[in-house]
Amino acid sequence: MTDTVTIYHNPRCSKSRQTLELIQSKGVEPRVVEYLKTPPSAAELKDILAKLGRKPAEILRSKEAAEAGVAKDLPDDQLIAAMVANPSVIERPIVVKGAEARLGRPPEQVLEIL
């Protein structure tokens, strides 16, 4: 059995659209999560961060965080809670497959886990 590929996607973001197209061009039809409409829970976000091997501050979009009043230097748990409450501050797209995840910046990075 193959692991499902999930993309945390924002259809208005060009990098997110490019990453989705790249995945589909490899014959993979991912589960698409429009995370602005359906944000990950704190537990899901912690799991994604562990798979990425990154801290919450490392996947924070600076401009959106500033606009939302989310400080990059918050403790991790508070930062995760702020990200769940303000999903636009989460860097995109994130692609998850099994125990691994990659940030689609650049989109080609996700090929490592397909």
Kindly name the residue from 2, 3, 5, 13 that is annotated as catalytic: 13
Provide the pairing of β-strand 5-9 with 31-34: parallel
The Cα 93–Cα 34 span in angstroms is 10
The reply to whether 13 belongs to the active site is: yes
Q: Which of 104, 87, 91 is nearest to 6 (CA)?
A: 104
Annotated active-site positions, please?
Answer: 13
